[in-house]
Amino acid sequence: MTDLTSLAANAPKAELHLHIEGSFEPELMFEMARRNAVDLPFNSVEEIRAAYDFSNLQEFLDIYYQGMSVLLQEQDFYDLTWAYLTRAAADNVIHAEIFFDPQGHLVRGVTFADAVGGIARALGDAQTQLGISSKLIMCFLRHLGEEEALKTWEQAQPFLSLIDGVGLDSSEVGHPPSKFKAVFAKARKAGLHLVAHAGEEGPPAYVWEALDDLQIERVDHGNRALEDAALVKQLAAKGMCLTVCPLSNLKLCVIDDMQNHPIPAMLAAGLKPCINSDDPSYFGGYVNDNFAALISSLPLSRADIEQLLRNSFDGSFMDETDKQAALAKLDDYLVSAP
């Protein structure tokens, strides 16, 4: 490991862009398929892994929705979430903001209570047993449109005490943020945090819409924002955090080579990116693997790595006291790290 890779690996950090259904390792998926008597169109863990070869976001999403079909009981959601949290603890994640896709489960007859209940129970155990704090963000599947999102919002009402924010994910192109203005307005009125995937495959106009129409507090991905100088200026002026996912970008062909990843350009432009794993089981690595991939391919400095780590807490939805405590913990680590 290079010095910078171990500096990043051993640092306390937050992960702000993680789809819990995208952390489903094939071994656990097979075990759950067996115990729930669900048929998977694969005969082995090796066959599943071999299928993880994508040329765009949609090819990944098709397999991702298939994978989540084995999640049926509350305990399944608990086990999935607990598996991610123990893995994240090994990467020194001390705060995680986790997405889930309720519509991907409701459509299969899973109850909202079982999905959110299992996830929230594991998040509670992570606080007491692993020292990981967390937030839970419910995402709307943009390809299903706003009517469906509004229905999901209604179904979420009894569980809002367990949910900290709403997001927007799934197939981006053709499903602009402006279509989801009403449901985001409802979530804003209820006091929830607001984020959206934008500028992953979609154009800078979608990032503008997410800012202006949805009033998001954080951009998920945002790579293509760099194509629009006025947008970069606006994101920098707002101090808007971008939850960037390098291995995801490579696997989904958002970039052609890690050497061309926009992280250096984002830092140089005064943006506030942080590093995340997105769907680690599908994209070949957890958060420390994402740092390692960037560091081995790009001329990043120690100051850059420190900035990326700080941004992970700064861009989080931790309350101010917890945020300052986490930043102080990171600073203590950085001053004493070789």
**Shortest Cβ 279–ligand ADE spacing (Å):** 5
**Shortest Cβ 172–Zn ion spacing (Å):** 10
Q: List Cα–Cα distances, 75 to 2, 35, 36, 103, in angstroms.
A: 40, 11, 11, 18
The CA distance from 305 to 30, in Å, is 37
Can you say how many angstroms the Cα of residue 41 is from the centroid of all Cα atoms in its chain? 26
**Shortest Cβ 99–ligand ADE spacing (Å):** 7
Query: In this structure, which amino acid lies at residue 183?
Result: V
**Shortest Cβ 283–ligand ADE spacing (Å):** 9
Q: Which of ligand ADE, Zn ion, none does residue 74 bind to, with CB < 5 to 8 Å depending on kind?
A: none
* Cβ closest to Zn ion, residue 98 vs residue 305: 98
The CA distance from 212 to 226, in Å, is 17
* Cβ closest to ligand ADE, residue 57 vs residue 211: 57
Q: List Cα–Cα distances, 317 to 59, 118, 137, 150, in angstroms.
A: 31, 22, 11, 24
* Cβ closest to Zn ion, residue 101 vs residue 278: 278
Number of residues that bind Zn ion (CB under 5 A): 1
Closest-CB residue for ligand ADE? 169
* Cβ closest to ligand ADE, residue 118 vs residue 222: 222
* Site residues (vs ligand ADE, CB under 6 A): 19, 22, 57, 64, 169-170, 197, 200, 248, 278-279
* Structure-block tokens of residue 207: 């990032």
**Shortest Cβ 172–ligand ADE spacing (Å):** 6
Of the candidates 155, 76, 167, which has an alpha carbon nearest to the alpha carbon of residue 117? 76
Contact 140, 103 (CB under 8 A): yes
3-state SS assignment for residue 52: coil
Closest-CB residue for Zn ion? 278
**Shortest Cβ 128–ligand ADE spacing (Å):** 28
Residue 137, beta-bridge partner list: 99, 165
Q: Which of Zn ion, ligand ADE, none does residue 22 bind to, with CB < 5 to 8 Å depending on kind?
A: ligand ADE
Among 15, 200, 201, 306, which one carries the catalytic annotation? 200
200 is catalytic: yes
Q: Which of ligand ADE, Zn ion, none does residue 69 bind to, with CB < 5 to 8 Å depending on kind?
A: none
Q: Which of Zn ion, ligand ADE, none does residue 170 bind to, with CB < 5 to 8 Å depending on kind?
A: ligand ADE
φ, ψ of residue 194 in degrees (nearest 5): -130, 125
Interface segment toward Zn ion; rule CB under 5 A; list 4-12, 188-196, 209-217, 270-278: 270-278
The CA distance from 147 to 77, in Å, is 26
Per-residue burial over 280-296, b if 16 or more Cβ lie within 10 Å, else e, is: bbbbbbbbbbbbbbbbe
Q: Which of Zn ion, ligand ADE, none does residue 105 bind to, with CB < 5 to 8 Å depending on kind?
A: none
Integer distance in angstroms from the first to the last C-alpha of the chain? 13
* Structure-block tokens of residue 237: 């002026």
Query: In this structure, which amino acid lies at residue 199?
Result: G
> Is residue 172 near Zn ion by the rule CB under 5 A?
no
* Cβ closest to Zn ion, residue 13 vs residue 197: 197
* Structure-block tokens of residue 185: 């307005």
The CA distance from 161 to 146, in Å, is 23
* Cβ closest to ligand ADE, residue 97 vs residue 169: 169
Q: Which of 25, 79, 209, 278 binds Zn ion (CB under 5 A)?
A: 278
What residues are annotated to the active site?
200
Binding residues for Zn ion (CB under 5 A): 278
